[in-house]
Chains A and B, each alone.
Chain A
Amino acid sequence: MKIVVLVKQVPDSGAERNLRSDDSTVDRDSANNVINEMDEYAIEEALKLREAHGGEVTILTMGPERAAESIRKALSMGPDKAVHVLDDALHGSCALATSKVLAAALKTLEPDLVIAGAESTDARGQVLPHMLAERLGAAALTGARKLTVDGATLTIERQTEEGYEVVTASTPAVVSVWDTINEPRYPSFKGIMEAKKKPVQTLSLGDLGIDAGEVGFGGASTAVVEHARRPPRQGGTRVNDDGEGGVKLVEFLVSEKFV
């Protein structure tokens, strides 16, 4: 099975993140840039499928030059190779344009299965996997907490508010996964060494036959008008439990009319 895993580099969600004051894009210079956490689960799921069914796992990333670090990190977990869509004209691209570029790259790779994270920690859009399925005419099995593969038939379990759904489709398909699906492996020393030699193909917009005007700020379908830091919340009253902590807590709730 030919599997492509979509990996996005994002600013670490555990530290302060900012938008740039000049063009309102994510400030990557001041951030610690890491693999989007959900995408590690996507990689793990692909590796498990390769172990069980054979085939090949390719990492696909669209992102600036420094995203190459995340690609190497991803490869150190075990995938075979990577494709990096890299072009200065991509800076400022909206989700719609990103999906156009990734779909074009996927068409050159002709995968049976595309696995993505369910959402990215920076955009939190959850929109890319369905956008890609729509553009590729592939089935969308999104938000999986479990994936089973039987020949060309894929079945997922998807958590809902009411319980869960079992959804099935044939390849080619786009699957997106949550962190409940598996436990990503840590790269081994051998994996890290091997990753240095694995092939990473760089594709430009020209290679994909996409005009620079269709992406970036010029081709964007959404625009930031303004942004500002939200004033941090102020802590209020704090009491030490002297044996009456629960009573004081309820006094507060009563004063605020919650009880």
Chain B
Amino acid sequence: MAEVLVLVKPSQGKVTKSTLEALTIARGLGEPAAVVVGEPGLASSITDKLGEYGAAKVYVAESDEFGDYLVTPQVAVLEKLVRDGEPAAVLIPSTQEGKEVAGRLAVRLGNGVLTDVVSLDTDGIATQVVFAGSTIVKSKVSRGIPLVTIRPSSVTPTPAPTTPSVEPVAVALGEADRLARVKERVTEAKGARPELTEASIVVSGGRGVGSADNFKLVEELADLLGAAVGASRAATDSGFYPHQFQVGQTGKTVSPQLYVALGISGAIQHRAGMQTSKTIVAVNKDNEAPIFELADFGVVGDLFKVVPQAAEEIRKHKA
């Protein structure tokens, strides 16, 4: 069976859910081979997890210098593996860095590229949801092999345990790979909440929340549900919540099991980032708010009354 390369996206020494999703999709096309690119010691701590989700092989490219550069080490390794091994496809989690790796790799290989793919058929036909969730497009790479980035939360990762063989890959970076250098990586404390794009529940607040201080209400409900916190652009632009939690056209695309929108009107650009959520719940005091057009359950009311009451109910339910 042909090999399907899956670029592993690690985060703080762990395999991200988006990687496990890509491995799950890869199994539909061939035999998944995970590609780990990073500083020495990274692969050994994650090989078991990759095997659990069906990686028959783990390619390991490790070097002290890889951490100094963005994108180019991954590109160099994937380029070599594609040229040497004739894989059936290359799958990359669709994060900012993942898309950049894919773009650069496409130029090096003269290969077409498709981003934010939500599913991939055995014949390489990729499905994308575009224009704020309003249109479904099926496309294919017509030059080269399917080189696609997989949108987070497109599938539920399912285990398929194997014991992977580990194969080292030696790649030396060229001059052009070293043009931009990472001077510093700053980790910001983010507490115990799940990653926004990976969470199965997201609770978001909008302009209606009114202030940064009031966002505690959104966080409280999120924590009771084990959810990640999101925000509309109006909320991030007003400084109520940090920008990296913005959901929508210019923010993150989320597709959780449950999305709770508090004080969010539901502008097209916000919907663009949450429309494919399985279940949507909204609280808004305006009966005409467009968010209600897509909410499975809506409460027309003041969020400052509804949310504390809901929090209290959940506590009672849990007790």
**Which A positions have Cβ atoms within 8 angstroms of B?**
13-19, 24, 37-38, 94-96, 99, 118, 121-131, 133-135, 137-143, 145, 155, 158-170, 173, 178-180, 220-230, 232-241, 244-250, 252-254, 256, 258-259
Contact = CB atoms under 8 A, between A and B. Distances in A.
B250 A229 contact: no
Chain B, interface residues (CB within 8 Å), range: 35 or more
A126 B139 contact: no
Given A18-B131, A162-B188, A221 B111 contact: yes
B281 A163 contact: no
Contacts of A94: 112
A226 B138 contact: yes
Contact of B243 (A143, A159, A161, A224): A159
A142 to B, nearest CB: 6
A24 B108 CA distance: 27
Interface in B268-317: 268-269, 272, 275, 279-281, 283, 287, 292-302, 305-314, 317
B114 interface: yes
B285 to A, nearest CB: 8
A222 B115 contact: no
B103 A128 contact: yes
Given A95-B113, A131-B107, A246 B309 contact: yes
A164 to B, nearest CB: 5
B182 A166 contact: yes
B179 interface: yes
Nearest to A124: B116
Contacts of A14: 267-269
Contact of B306 (A17, A38, A131, A249): A249
Given A121-B249, A165-B70, A165-B184, A130 B297 contact: no
Contacts of A179: 250
19 contacts: A96-B110, A96-B143, A129-B103, A130-B71, A139-B180, A165-B185, A179-B250, A222-B139, A226-B137, A227-B135, A235-B292, A238-B298, A244-B309, A245-B299, A246-B311, A247-B309, A249-B310, A249-B313, A259-B225
Contact of A222 (B110, B114, B190, B305): B114
Contacts of B244: 159, 161
A126 B99 contact: yes
A126 B70 contact: no
Contact of A131 (B106, B180, B258, B268): B106
Contacts of B302: 241
Contacts of B179: 133, 137-140, 169-170, 173
A184 B60 CA distance: 44
A74 B144 CA distance: 37
| B116, B143, B299, B317 — most chain A CB neighbours (10 Å) | B299
Given A229-B135, A241-B302, A15 B141 contact: no
A115 B104 CA distance: 17
B235 to A, nearest CB: 14
Nearest to A172: B179
Given A126-B96, A256-B258, A230 B113 contact: no
A74 B295 CA distance: 38
Contact of B300 (A155, A159, A226, A240): A240
Nearest to B311: A246
B155 interface: no
B187 interface: yes
B110 to A, nearest CB: 8
Given A131-B104, A135-B107, A235-B292, A229 B185 contact: no
Contacts of B294: 232-235
Contacts of A129: 100, 103
A97 to B, nearest CB: 10
